[in-house]
Amino acid sequence: MNPSLEKAIARHEIEGTLEDLVFMASYLLPPKGRCYLIFPALRTVDLLVALRDRGLEPKRLQFVYPRLHDEANFILTESIKASGVELKVMDPLILSSAPS
């Protein structure tokens, strides 16, 4: 947990849950509106389920790796409100080619 309260709130579910975030995104978006999120890769399933439960259909997903051969630490997602079912998994994004 980050000692800075602002960073801790931004990075952890302190002031709101994933479900709160997705609910508000769905509430604020018009039909066919787009929602872009960066989220921890370990919670991929939680995010995808929450998005679909609130009518935000995941359309593109990209795993972000700190280095080649490391585990993914984030996912980038694009969802569209009230759209058909189709998900494209993009090529991985590798931030550094330097060895671990």
Per-residue confidence (pLDDT) for residue 44, from 0 to 100? 96
Q: How far is CA 14 from the centre of its chain?
A: 17
b/e map of 64-87 (b: 16 or more CB within 10 Å)?
A: ebeeeeeebebbebbbbbebeeee
Question: The whole model's pTM is what?
Answer: 0.82
Per-residue confidence (pLDDT) for residue 98, from 0 to 100? 75
- Of 77, 95, 81, nearest to 38 (Cα)? 77
**Tens of pLDDT along the chain (100 residues)?**
778 777 766 666 666 789 999 999 999 999 999 999 999 999 999 999 999 999 999 999 999 999 998 999 999 999 999 999 999 999 999 999 877 6
The total number of residues shown for the chain amounts to 100
Per-residue confidence (pLDDT) for residue 11, from 0 to 100? 65
